[in-house]
């Protein structure tokens, strides 16, 4: 056997060392975290009506994509020299990564309000462009798009909370929907419904932790608070959250609750068989009677939410979306023109909310955040047959006007569901008290999210 | 070997008329091996070593995927080691291990013994049946699991109801979610265990059994005294490999339960992913190194146990 000129172990060791040096010294230094941070930029200039160019816009796939596609057609007619590539994209999966990497970016995108605050450094500051519309835009929507006093999203839809109820069942139980002015009235109505039908569990309480937390935020927002303050500090330990959580506990203790996942089979079955008759939820619940319910179709109605204190606000926001323009977009000015058209110009918002091929009666799952688009006397969508012909527009825009402003949604909000969303479920299951929910969630959100933000 | 015999005198090397073939023949064996192995090391450095060093560097920073990365020393490690959720994720993985590995070894060995029997009818069909789940995409199987174990409309509860048993919250109760996921993991990977054990069984020489039979050993005695000791290396290999797989388990809880209810199926792998998803890359990197250490220690323990038995 011949002897190797250089021992194999030495070759390995040397190569490993060289590899490590090469890896550590060159590329590592160049690609090390923090070496290529991006600075947020301010978008100020509005291009002229004769602007030319091409933009790529991302939207959610599904019905809403088709609605926007039709509305973008109206934009193309107004600005014939701007070519819009409208793409259906899994925004939740792709947008954040694309913003961070800075490659293959769209010029604008649809996005949840809850996600904008966390990515502000990768977005254009739109404060100056939105200034002319600011006074007439929902204070709530402006607040959730604002980070450090600057606005990073073009406010689009406003999702007011409403009280959905089965008119026939309430009538049978002798409950007047107009009399449901406080949350105590709501509990009393639920008891009346159960007296009429012992199998009834009239109040819907959400089983999905994320939607459950969104629902809780709607009820807290109705009282003018939210999970985090303007500095991103947790403010769960408050009178307002205690009000909501104590009310939930009372409803659970009185066995008035159907605990089911939003519009999954068990929920639909309980809605159809009359077990559930009261659903405090966002305006987008209108989807259920219009698309999913069969027996209950035509029997559901919407009313303002009850107030937490007599004379208090009758609605809160549950979700919502806006439009963002990435700081590294190629044609940000043209993207702004499109979003300005869709959100603040009459032909634009009418094209979005008005009758379309997808929704012949108009888009009924939200209302515009821009005040002039929300006139009660100029409805953008028609009365809804699946709600017995009720004028949902008027109910929704009246409710939208009462939504108090909030604080910016912190970047860690979605992650807080692991604590608050889960603990809310434990409360509904009777495994935790309201104080436990507040103490445990506050402690864990502070340690795991706020301190490490 | 001395330097004198290898290195020609300076004067001789400097001479312009020095014989070239002799110098070439010395260089060739020196450079050639490096050239031949270089591609491997380049690829290894780029895709193995560099990510490893980069991840190690990350684990000492607070990098969120963008902006400045600040060096924070051992803070990510101390955070994780004092975190209830980190230990809970390891606890979940440990329970999963207990639910999976012993059952898989025992069941896999029984199936392998059965399949090793040449007299078994429909042997080919059984082999296909065992291996089919292993080659089926996990996400498809997970979707079947979600439908089958649905509380309200699932097949399993339907069968339970048909014999008078009540509904069980398979995927929504902290008690049942782990066993339900463990069952999915077993369905998916037991075919692999059977292949390994079958290979181990087939490597045992037949004359060992003949000799034992001549000595009057019963089939039961043969199994305990011959089969089991002779396939213990295969068993040890499976324990190591499946320990790695269980502690890194990600796709099953990600698709079926998303780690819930209340984090009861958040495994070590999924907890690590959650940090990455939240752009907390520093903590994610630290978590991965802690998992590596843990799995390395468990693997070392298995190998040591095997070695001590050999000795």
Residue pLDDT, tens place only, A307-344: 999 899 999 999 999 999 999 999 999 999 999 999 99
Residue A141 pLDDT grade (very low, low, confident, very high; cuts 50, 70, 90): very high
Contact A34 B44 (CB under 8 A): no
Mutate to test the interface with B, among A21, A23, A271 (most CBs of B within 10 A): A23
Å between B58 CA and nearest CA of chain A: 8
Question: How far is it, in rounded angstroms, from Cα B156 to Cα B175?
Answer: 17
Q: Are strands A278-282 and A161-166 parallel, antiparallel or unpaired?
A: antiparallel
Q: Is residue A339 within a helix (H) or strand (E), and if so which, with residue range? A: helix A332-344
Q: Chain A contacts of B80, Cβ < 8 Å? A: none
The CA-based dihedral angle spanning residues B20, B23, B26, B28, taken in that order and rounded to the nearest 10 degrees: -60
The Cβ of residue A143 has, within 10 Å, a number of other Cβ atoms equal to 20
pLDDT at B305: 75
Q: How far is CA B240 from CA A14, B193, B297, B301, in A?
A: 31, 12, 11, 9
- Of residues A410 and A49, more confidence is placed in A410
Residue A40 pLDDT grade (very low, low, confident, very high; cuts 50, 70, 90): low
Residue A2 pLDDT grade (very low, low, confident, very high; cuts 50, 70, 90): very low
Is residue B84 within 8 Å of B218, Cβ to Cβ? no
Contact B66 A22 (CB under 8 A): no
Q: Is residue A141 within a helix (H) or strand (E), and if so which, with residue range? A: helix A139-144
The backbone region for A102, taken as left when phi is positive above 0, alpha when psi lies in -120 to 50, beta otherwise, is: left
Q: Is the peptide bond between B261 and the residue preceding it cis, with omega within 30 degrees of 0?
A: yes
Phi, psi of A79 (to 5 degrees): -125, 75
Of B41, B58, B279, the CB nearest to A19: B41
Question: How far is it, in rounded angstroms, from Cα A69 to Cα A55?
Answer: 14
Partner B, chain A 389-428, Cβ-Cβ below 8 Å: 412, 415, 418, 422, 425-426
Note the Cα B182 to chain centre separation in Å.
Answer: 15
Is residue B238 within 8 Å of B105, Cβ to Cβ? yes
Partner A, chain B 287-306, Cβ-Cβ below 8 Å: none
Q: Which residues contact B139 (CB under 8 A, 6 or more apart)?
A: B251, B255
B84-116 and B177-202 helices cross at what angle (nearest 10)?
A: 40
Contact A23 B44 (CB under 8 A): no
Of A16, A96, A121, the CB nearest to B67: A121
Percent of chain A with pLDDT over 70: 91
Single pTM value for the model? 0.82
Question: How far is it, in rounded angstroms, from Cα A111 to Cα A323?
Answer: 6
- Using alpha carbons, select from A142, A143, A167 the residue that is nearest to residue A155: A142
pLDDT at B232: 86
Q: Which residues contact A255 (CB under 8 A, 6 or more apart)?
A: A194, A201
The dihedral built from the CA positions of residue B265, B189, B184 and B165, taken in this order, carries a sign that is negative
Question: How far is it, in rounded angstroms, from Cα A450 to Cα A413?
Answer: 10
Q: Are strands A157-158 and A41-42 parallel, antiparallel or unpaired?
A: unpaired
Question: How far is it, in rounded angstroms, from Cα B290 to Cα B74?
Answer: 12
Mind listing the pLDDT tens digit for each residue in A142-175?
Answer: 999 998 889 999 999 999 999 999 999 999 999 9
Q: Is residue A272 within a helix (H) or strand (E), and if so which, with residue range? A: helix A265-272
Mind listing the pLDDT tens digit for each residue in A418-439?
Answer: 999 999 999 999 999 999 999 9
Greatest mean pLDDT among A3-17, A179-193, B219-233 lies in A179-193
Is residue B57 within 8 Å of B76, Cβ to Cβ? no
Helix, strand counts (H, E) of chain A:
18, 16
Average of per-residue pLDDT across A362-373: 95
Q: Chain A contacts of B46, Cβ < 8 Å? A: 23
- Using alpha carbons, select from A359, A346, A354, A352 the residue that is nearest to residue A393: A354
Contact A23 B151 (CB under 8 A): no
- Using alpha carbons, select from A133, A172, A191, A195 the residue that is nearest to residue A373: A133
What stretches in chain B show pLDDT beneath 50? 1-15, 22
* pLDDT at residue A62 is higher than 90: no
A and B: number of Cβ contacts within 8 A: 85
Q: Quickly list H helices, chain B.
A: 3-6, 10-14, 20-44, 50-58, 75-81, 84-116, 123-135, 138-148, 155-162, 177-202, 206-214, 219-222, 228-230, 232-247, 251-256, 268-277, 281-310
């Amino acid at each position: 056997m011949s002897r190797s000129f250089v021992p194999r172990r030495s070759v390995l060791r040397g190569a490993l060392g060289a590899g490590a040096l090469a890896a550590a010294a060159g590329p590592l230094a160049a690609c090390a975290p923090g070496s290529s941070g991006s600075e947020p930029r301010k978008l100020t200039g509005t291009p002229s009506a004769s602007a030319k160019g091409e933009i790529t816009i991302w939207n959610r796939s599904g019905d809403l994509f088709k609605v926007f596609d039709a509305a973008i057609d109206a934009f193309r007619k107004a600005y014939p020299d701007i070519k819009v590539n409208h793409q259906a994209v899994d925004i939740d999966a792709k947008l954040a990564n694309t913003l961070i990497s800075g490659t293959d970016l769209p010029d604008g995108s649809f996005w949840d309000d809850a996600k904008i605050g966390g990515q502000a450094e990768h977005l254009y500051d739109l404060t100056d462009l939105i200034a002319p519309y600011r006074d007439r835009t929902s204070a709530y929507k402006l607040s959730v798009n604002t980070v450090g006093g600057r606005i990073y999203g073009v406010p689009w839809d406003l999702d007011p909370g409403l009280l959905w109820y089965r008119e026939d069942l309430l009538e049978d139980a002798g409950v007047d929907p107009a009399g449901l002015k406080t949350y105590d009235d709501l509990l009393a109505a639920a008891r009346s419904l159960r007296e009429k039908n012992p199998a009834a569990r009239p109040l819907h309480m959400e089983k999905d932790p994320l939607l459950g937390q969104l629902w809780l935020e709607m009820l807290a927002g109705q009282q003018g608070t939210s999970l985090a303050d303007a500095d991103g500090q947790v403010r769960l330990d408050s009178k307002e959250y205690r009000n909501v959580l104590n009310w939930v506990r009372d409803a659970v203790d009185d066995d008035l609750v159907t605990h089911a996942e939003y519009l999954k089979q068990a929920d639909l079955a309980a809605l159809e068989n009359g077990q559930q008759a009261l659903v405090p939820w966002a305006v987008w619940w209108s989807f259920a009677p219009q698309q999913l319910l069969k027996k209950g179709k035509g029997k559901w109605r919407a009313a303002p939410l009850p107030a937490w204190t007599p004379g208090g606000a009758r609605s809160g926001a549950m979700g919502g979306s806006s439009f963002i323009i990435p700081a590294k977009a190629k044609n940000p000015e043209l993207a702004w023109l499109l979003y300005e058209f869709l959100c603040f110009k009459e032909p634009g918002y009418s094209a979005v909310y008005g009758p379309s091929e997808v929704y012949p009666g108009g888009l009924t799952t939200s209302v515009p955040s821009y005040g002039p688009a929300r006139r009660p006397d100029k409805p953008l969508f028609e009365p809804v047959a699946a709600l017995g012909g009720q004028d949902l527009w008027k109910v929704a825009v009246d409710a939208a006007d009462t939504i108090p402003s909030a604080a910016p949604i912190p970047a860690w909000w979605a992650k807080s569901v692991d604590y608050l969303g889960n603990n809310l479920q434990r409360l509904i299951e009777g495994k935790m008290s309201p104080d436990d929910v507040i103490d445990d969630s506050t402690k864990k959100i502070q340690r795991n999210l706020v301190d490490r933000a | 070997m001395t330097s004198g015999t290898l290195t020609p005198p300076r004067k001789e090397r400097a001479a312009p008329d020095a014989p070239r073939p002799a110098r070439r023949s010395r260089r060739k064996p020196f450079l050639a091996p490096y050239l031949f192995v270089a591609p491997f090391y380049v690829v290894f450095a780029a895709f193995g070593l560099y990510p490893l060093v980069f991840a190690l560097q990350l684990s000492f920073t607070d990098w969120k995927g963008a902006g400045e990365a600040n060096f924070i020393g051992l803070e990510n490690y101390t955070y994780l080691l004092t975190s209830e959720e980190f230990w809970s994720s390891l606890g979940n993985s440990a329970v999963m291990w207990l639910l999976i590995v012993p059952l898989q070894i025992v069941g896999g060995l029984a199936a392998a013994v059965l399949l090793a029997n040449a007299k078994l009818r429909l042997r080919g069909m059984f082999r296909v049946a065992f291996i089919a789940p292993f080659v089926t995409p996990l996400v498809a199987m997970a979707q079947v699991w979600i439908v089958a174990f649905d509380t309200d409309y699932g097949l399993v509860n339907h069968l339970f109801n048909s014999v008078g048993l009540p509904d069980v919250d398979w995927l929504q109760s902290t008690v049942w979610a782990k066993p339900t996921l463990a069952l999915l993991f077993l369905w998916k990977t037991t075919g692999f265990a059977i292949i390994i054990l079958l290979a181990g069984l087939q490597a045992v020489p037949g004359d060992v059994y003949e000799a034992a039979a001549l000595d009057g050993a019963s089939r039961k005695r043969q199994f305990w005294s011959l089969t089991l000791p002779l396939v213990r290396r295969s068993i040890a290999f499976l324990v190591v490999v499946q320990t790695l797989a269980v502690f890194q388990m990600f796709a099953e809880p990600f698709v079926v339960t998303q780690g819930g209810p209340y984090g009861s199926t958040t495994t070590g792998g999924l907890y690590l992913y959650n940090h990455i998803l939240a752009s907390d890359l520093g903590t994610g990197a630290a978590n991965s190194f802690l998992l590596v250490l843990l799995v390395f220690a468990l693997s070392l323990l298995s190998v040591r146990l095997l070695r001590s038995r050999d000795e």
